[in-house]
Amino acid sequence: MTGLSRLDTERLMELLSVSLGAYYGDFTVAAASESLTASQGRALTVLRRGPAAMRALASTLTCDASNITGIVDRLEKRGLVRREPSASDRRVKNVVLTAEGERVTDAIRARMRATQDGLDRLDDADRERLAELLERVFLAPPQG
Amino acid sequence: MTGLSRLDTERLMELLSVSLGAYYGDFTVAAASESLTASQGRALTVLRRGPAAMRALASTLTCDASNITGIVDRLEKRGLVRREPSASDRRVKNVVLTAEGERVTDAIRARMRATQDGLDRLDDADRERLAELLERVFLAPPQG
DNA sequence: TATTGTTATACTCTATAACTATA
DNA sequence: TATAGTTATAGAGTATAACAATA
């Protein structure tokens, strides 16, 4: 690790900070357009990938498990998710998106115009490069 | 815009969602290690770039101006920021990081090991590519 | 004994509306 | 008239500690 590379990491950390802020702002406004809080929107986005136990949802959202009860309560009251008992472990409840929940989640993503317009500035080759780099930085195993 | 590029945008939106979720989780844990909430940590991070008026801070954080009062109150009580009256407009208060605020903000960033380790997986050329792509997607003018 | 989901509690975040001081 | 910051309020998010049901 050279001194110059260290500086590059600092610059990239700052750039990620600004990028996250822009993305998160875009997301928050889009979620609000569906009368959802940012946390509710994040939960839906995670569940769009598939059902998850309450505990797993808390882990993915990096918050205490006790918070998930209230968030899922409100989403369930609006018919966007439902709790399903696990077949293998009677302590576990799996949270599943309803059809309406899928529709709303997709609507939020479709509303994120600023981010989508940003991505549309890239040509196919640059999209591929960005995808590969993001996977390498954020999806590689922690101790890989 | 071809059909294939559209699909790439969907994939990139999902990849950004996962990536920024990982970043935000890393950031939240790092802020908590300094006994700060994510919102307080975000405010400090913005102010690390320079002083900002209350209103400007609200705009950058994508929240109502009334929220900033409480957030800055708590940061000020801990000696991390201070309010300074604007010389040109007596309605305006500029929020400035204290030396301790700078130290804490840098400590949070230094604690984000997962993200830093991810960036360290890239060589200099890939760092440069990632930086350029993020700038193009998130920092280009909205109607550019 | 350990884990899952829930509840109770206290504090923080958030938007809305109304207020004041200033422009 | 308009804008910057604050206050009051109500609802939502958050961590902690404790609990019942299940493993």
Write the secondary structure of chain A as one string of H (helix), E (strand) and C (coil). Answer: CCHHHHHHHHHHHHHHHHHHHHHHHHHHHHHHCCCCCHHHHHHHHHHCCCCEEHHHHHHHCCCCHHHHHHHHHHHHHCCCEEEEECCCCCCCEEEEECHHHHHHHHHHHHHCHHHHHHHHCCCHHHHHHHHHHHHHHHHCCCCC
Q: Inter-chain contact A21–B1, Cβ cutoff 8 Å?
A: no
Using pLDDT thresholds of 50, 70 and 90, give the confidence band for residue B41.
very high
Do residue B13 and residue A134 have CB atoms under 8 angstroms apart?
Answer: no
* The model's pTM: 0.94
Chain C bases closer than 7 angstroms to a protein Cβ: 3-9, 12-18, 21-23
Q: What is the mean pLDDT of residues B2-17?
A: 80
B90 touches strand C (CB under 7 A): yes
- CB B19 under 7 Å to nucleic chain C: no
Question: What pLDDT score does A140 carry?
Answer: 85
The distance in angstroms from the start CA to the end CA of chain B is 18
Across the beta sheet with B52-53, the strand order is: B52-53, B93-97, B81-85
Answer whether residue A4 shows pLDDT above 80: no
Instruction: Give the distance between the most distant pair of CA atoms in chain B.
Output: 55
CB-closest option in B45, B46, B124 to A5: B124
Residue A70 has what pLDDT?
A: 98
Is A61 near strand D, with its CB below 7 A from some atom of it? yes
What percent of chain B is modeled with pLDDT above 70? 93
What pLDDT was estimated at residue A5?
Answer: 72
* Closest Cβ opposite residue A13 in set B4, B61, B109: B109
* Separation between Cα atoms, residue B56 and residue A28, nearest integer Å: 18
Q: How confident is the model at residue A102 (pLDDT cuts 50, 70, 90)?
A: very high
Q: What's the whole-number average pLDDT of chain A? A: 94
Looking at residue B8, its pLDDT comes to 80
Flag whether pLDDT at B24 surpasses 70: yes
Question: Could you check: is the Cβ of residue B52 within 7 Å of any atom of nucleic acid strand D?
Answer: no
Task: Kindly report the backbone phi and psi dihedral angles of residue A19, in degrees, each rounded to the nearest multiple of 5, phi listed first.
Answer: -65, -45
Interface with chain B: mutation pick from A134, A136, A139, A143, highest number of B CBs within 10 Å: A134
Average the pLDDT over each of A12-21, A61-70, B3-12 and give the range with the smallest value.
Answer: B3-12
Q: A142 to chain B: nearest residue by CA?
A: B114
- Residue A91 scores a pLDDT above 50: yes
Residue nearest to nucleotide C8 (CA to C1'): A66
CA distances from A110 to A83, A115, B114 (A): 26, 10, 30
Tokens of B144: 């550019």
- Burial class (CB within 10 angstroms; exposed 0-12, middle 13-18, buried 19+) of A40: buried
Considering only alpha carbons, which residue of chain B is nearest residue A131? B12
Residue B108 host element (H or E): helix B99-111
**CB B94 within 8 Å of CB B52:** yes
Does residue A144 register a pLDDT over 50?
A: no
